[in-house]
Structure 1
Amino acid sequence: MKDILDAIQSPDSTPADFAALPLPESYRAITVHKDETEMFAGLATRDKDPRKSLHLDEVPVPELGPGEALVAVMASSVNYNSVWTSIFEPLSTFGFLERYGRVSDLTRRHDLPYHVIGSDLAGVVLRTGPGVNAWRPGDEVVAHCLSVELESSDGHNDTMLDPEQRIWGFETNFGGLAEIALVKSNQLMPKPTHLSWEEAAAPGLVNSTAYRQLVSRNGARMKQGDNVLIWGASGGLGSYATQFALAGGATPICVVSSERKAEICRRMGAELIIDRSAEEYRFWKDEHTQDPREWKRLGKRIRELTGGEDVDIVFEHPGRETFGASVYVTRKGGTIVTCASTSGYDHSYDNRYLWMSLKRIVGSHFANYREAWEANRLVAKGKIHPTLSRVYSLEETGQAAHDVHRNAHQGKVGVLCLAPEEGLGVRDHELRARHADAINRFRNV
């Protein structure tokens, strides 16, 4: 691993040098263990501690197959799917690995008693398998997390509809929270040259998800002038949704849970902000009963901010806690687009406000190849910026996941894998200088 890191840090290394590097037999990786899936049985979700279930193990380098690449991972990041994996909710991910292992002889590699997790990376290509022509050893890359087989016609119009669509590092093995990762070569995209390794690793999953959810024809099809209600607007997903709204000529109405988070939204350029904690919104009277009066109070507050207009789009991801309010406050003919359910999967809402007002609910999940590429291109051009707030070492990944689980973070939380320190990997210093303030908006908040 030292020779690999030395080659990455040397300005004189060539593709031939990387191709000639011997691969190690093993590497360090963050894992969960199959024999520990019941370790949190009987505990409430909030009490399940990723620091107990995430392990730093030495694992064998996987076999490289056709159309695949091995990447030396300089940095990665923690997503909410890392938290779900670590607390074995809503299901253990080993069921995903078992099903994937039955697809082919090659995918059988993924069905192991340990799961190397992580759905983001920034790093350098070490090896490519047969049939890979677009990438070569030494290329600096980021990876999106869409894994598909594309043997069915269903996925050829929108790869997210492939029956074998999976999220790499969550529903497959050999993810990015490690020193080496195994990816399909069509997951690779050019690393934005003005960003450090840890900054480049931060946007991948959430940036692509927000792009499809808001901008794409497969999502809400946001246009100039739209009012967009964004739940958790300073968080991992919401911080990119806020940027897309601002960059696309829409008006974000940012819902946050503290003044500190409100200030982050202002730094991004948002002006219309609702602090749901300060204004004491309680959308549920008790565990079983929602409070429509609170929906109406939220709608009134939105109209006060917008000059009398309702929202055209609701960017939904909390799920159960907020979904009834989201359906209510959307304007007639508007769209509620949902990509997650972090507060619970069992949604309920008053259907009269949906059907009689011709509203739409759109399900959105990650992004297809083209959407991920377009989202990364916007980062590379300096139009959308990483929202990295804090960086941990690989050894501290359990603490990083714990912070995300407890919502004790802003934006995205990064993890250094092979990179020995922060700030490395910047190639275009001129472009970086033009956007330095925006790149660092979330740091040390």
Structure 2
Amino acid sequence: MDALGQAVVDGATPEQLERLDVPSEYYAAHLHRDDVDMFRGVADKDVRKSLRLGRVPMPELAPDEVLVAVMASAVNFNTVWSAIFEPLPTFQFLKSMGRRGKWEARHDQPYQVVGSDAAGVVVAMGDGVRGGWRIGDHVVVSPGYVDDQDPEAQNDSIKSGTLAWGFETNFGAFAHYCVVRASMLMRKPAHLSWEEAACNPLCAGTAYRMLVSEHSARMKQGDVVLIWGATGGLGAYGVQFVKNGGGIAVGVVSSAAKEELARKLGCDVVINREELGMAGYNGDDPARTVEIGRRLGKMIRTQVGEDPDIVYDYVGQKTFAISVFVAKTAGTVVTCGSSTGYQHQFDNRYLWMRVKRIVGSHGANMKEQLDCNRLINRGQILPTLSTVYPLDEVPEAVRLVQTNGHAGKVGVLCLSPEEGLGITDPALRARIGEDRINLFRHAA
């Protein structure tokens, strides 16, 4: 470990950190452009074969950027996509970004440091950084990389083409250091450890926009919300926002163990996918879609009394046709991803004749992220961290998510030498309760 990183780990003061030089290179989990064809014709695209570990050059900071010493990070499914080079190699994103100008050109490298969630300590700043940020601040990173010179960004940055940091940009979170714009910083929740704080921003912010924001489903009190993958990273935050907002959460999960976890999380109704007869179903059989949809709809009406007002779908190809079928008349299907495939087939009659809506949602703008972070700071939304890996085992951590062997979020310790560090408000933590904060850890 370099001197600056060691000083952060040792708890150096801001004044001490300011006196230390930024290293010329740093340790990171990364992909390499030479590997983009390695999975052609391969059935099992094992991310452990493409994710590399080693040192990479330290980029120069732009005037509006900060360097964060990453104490902890967390795995999102976008790293799986990056590491299997699908639906297209993310090096194409970096090349496109590199054409924008001097500072963007730094991102177009033969390597890409991936990872879109981080909690850490500010250790260097460009000379144009404002907003009250100081060396030594404890922060979490919003994953939205925004072009603040795009006029549409002043309305809703997601509509202006916000990039996903560490996926569509370089210098991401699975490393000892990461480079982010100052506009991406949020104050770290003081009652959470580094790894607990790191697991929240991407999934929690995405779920907030999908369900709560005026830009997506606009959930209201009493809404019945069907949540596919209710104990997954996105699903578990979705359940919490439904319950926080006075909704009725219907969770679909894939195992008996996840059934129990979904109930503890707050689901009013829990349905095991096996009960629906979805084995071997890929979303492309109209007759089976209707069969499964009717079965699912009957289960929900039996226990709740009505069809879902909102269906929350990030699973994609295997579930989307059912989502469209099962949503109530004039209901909404909100989607933000497709972890089982991007080609969605559905019977449009059930959409147009029953005046339903499909809403695409992607990430969150900074106002939504800050509103979400406020709820996390107050203990109203809890981390979903289930297990933690060291940085050297990032390939195994990403493989766990790739094979859906996890619940909630999978954390990664970067500079932090052990779990449980970084808590600066133990009194608030005690009021919230260890059992609530560690719900997913206990389940794991």
Farther-moved stretch of structure 1 (257-266 vs 283-292): 283-292
Residue correspondence of structure 1 range 237-256 to structure 2 within 5 A: 237-256=234-253
Task: Kindly state the Cα deviation for residue 18 of structure 1 after the two structures are TM-superposed.
Answer: 1.9
Amino acid at match of 1:303: R
Match of 2:39 in 1: 40
Match of 1:441 in 2: 439
TM-score when normalising by structure 2: 0.96
Aligned with 2:272 (options 275, 292, 302): 275
Residue correspondence of structure 1 range 300-379 to structure 2 within 5 A: 300-306=298-304, 308-379=305-376
- The 3-state SS of whatever aligns with 1:311 is coil
Residue correspondence of structure 1 range 392-407 to structure 2 within 5 A: 392-407=389-404
Decide whether aligned partners of structure 1 residues 9 and 31 sit closer, same or farther in structure 2, where only a CA change above 3 A counts: closer
Indicate yes or no: 2:221 matched with 1:258.
no
Residue correspondence of structure 1 range 85-234 to structure 2 within 5 A: 85-134=82-131, 135-163=133-161, 165-234=162-231
Indicate yes or no: 2:19 matched with 1:17.
no
Task: Kindly state the Cα deviation for residue 437 of structure 1 after the two structures are TM-superposed.
Answer: 1.0
What is the aligned-residue RMSD (CA, Å)?
A: 1.5
Task: Kindly state the Cα deviation for residue 385 of structure 1 after the two structures are TM-superposed.
Answer: 0.5
Amino acid at match of 2:330: G
* CA displacement 1:292-322 (0-9 Å, x = unmatched): 122111111110110x211110001111111
What is the alpha-carbon distance in structure 2 between the residues aligned to residue 3 and residue 384 of structure 1? 36
Aligned with 1:59 (options 56, 61, 67): 56
Percent identity, aligned pairs only, is 51
Decide whether aligned partners of structure 1 residues 191 and 274 sit closer, same or farther in structure 2, where only a CA change above 3 A counts: same
What is the alpha-carbon distance in structure 2 between the residues aligned to residue 233 and residue 320 of structure 1? 17
Task: Kindly state the Cα deviation for residue 344 of structure 1 after the two structures are TM-superposed.
Answer: 1.1
Task: Kindly state the Cα deviation for residue 408 of structure 1 after the two structures are TM-superposed.
Answer: 0.4
What is the alpha-carbon distance in structure 2 between the residues aligned to residue 66 and residue 25 of structure 1? 18
- Indicate conservation of the 8 Å contact 1:282/1:294, yes or no: no
Farther-moved stretch of structure 1 (17-26 vs 387-396): 17-26
Structure 2 unaligned runs (5+)? none
Decide whether aligned partners of structure 1 residues 366 and 290 sit closer, same or farther in structure 2, where only a CA change above 3 A counts: farther
Amino acid at match of 2:151: S
Amino acid at match of 2:138: E
What is the alpha-carbon distance in structure 1 between the residues aligned to residue 389 and residue 14 of structure 2? 30
Task: Kindly state the Cα deviation for residue 356 of structure 1 after the two structures are TM-superposed.
Answer: 1.6
Indicate yes or no: 2:408 matched with 1:411.
yes
Decide whether aligned partners of structure 1 residues 283 and 227 sit closer, same or farther in structure 2, where only a CA change above 3 A counts: farther
Task: Kindly state the Cα deviation for residue 355 of structure 1 after the two structures are TM-superposed.
Answer: 1.4
- The 3-state SS of whatever aligns with 1:200 is helix
* CA displacement 1:218-256 (0-9 Å, x = unmatched): 111111101000000000000000011111110100000
Aligned with 1:385 (options 382, 388, 411): 382
Amino acid at match of 2:335: T
- Indicate conservation of the 8 Å contact 1:150/1:162, yes or no: no
- Indicate conservation of the 8 Å contact 2:283/2:320, yes or no: no
Aligned pair count reads: 440
Farther-moved stretch of structure 1 (130-139 vs 241-250): 130-139
- Indicate conservation of the 8 Å contact 2:286/2:347, yes or no: no
Match of 1:26 in 2: 25
- The 3-state SS of whatever aligns with 2:271 is strand
What is the alpha-carbon distance in structure 1 between the residues aligned to residue 318 and residue 389 of structure 2? 30
Task: Kindly state the Cα deviation for residue 262 of structure 1 after the two structures are TM-superposed.
Answer: 0.8
TM-score when normalising by structure 1: 0.96
Decide whether aligned partners of structure 1 residues 242 and 42 sit closer, same or farther in structure 2, where only a CA change above 3 A counts: same
- The 3-state SS of whatever aligns with 2:329 is strand
Amino acid at match of 2:236: S
- The 3-state SS of whatever aligns with 1:443 is helix
- Indicate conservation of the 8 Å contact 2:283/2:317, yes or no: no
What is the alpha-carbon distance in structure 2 between the residues aligned to residue 3 and residue 214 of structure 1? 44
Task: Kindly state the Cα deviation for residue 281 of structure 1 after the two structures are TM-superposed.
Answer: 3.4
Indicate yes or no: 2:14 matched with 1:4.
no
Task: Kindly state the Cα deviation for residue 415 of structure 1 after the two structures are TM-superposed.
Answer: 0.3
Decide whether aligned partners of structure 1 residues 316 and 70 sit closer, same or farther in structure 2, where only a CA change above 3 A counts: same
Decide whether aligned partners of structure 1 residues 338 and 290 sit closer, same or farther in structure 2, where only a CA change above 3 A counts: farther
Task: Kindly state the Cα deviation for residue 392 of structure 1 after the two structures are TM-superposed.
Answer: 0.2
Task: Kindly state the Cα deviation for residue 10 of structure 1 after the two structures are TM-superposed.
Answer: 4.9
Structure 1 unaligned runs (5+)? none
- Indicate conservation of the 8 Å contact 1:212/1:367, yes or no: yes
Task: Kindly state the Cα deviation for residue 352 of structure 1 after the two structures are TM-superposed.
Answer: 1.4
- Indicate conservation of the 8 Å contact 1:283/1:321, yes or no: no
- Indicate conservation of the 8 Å contact 1:257/1:278, yes or no: no
Task: Kindly state the Cα deviation for residue 278 of structure 1 after the two structures are TM-superposed.
Answer: 3.8
Amino acid at match of 1:420: P
Decide whether aligned partners of structure 1 residues 49 and 285 sit closer, same or farther in structure 2, where only a CA change above 3 A counts: closer
- Indicate conservation of the 8 Å contact 1:283/1:295, yes or no: no
- The 3-state SS of whatever aligns with 1:324 is helix
* CA displacement 1:415-440 (0-9 Å, x = unmatched): 00000010100000011112211110
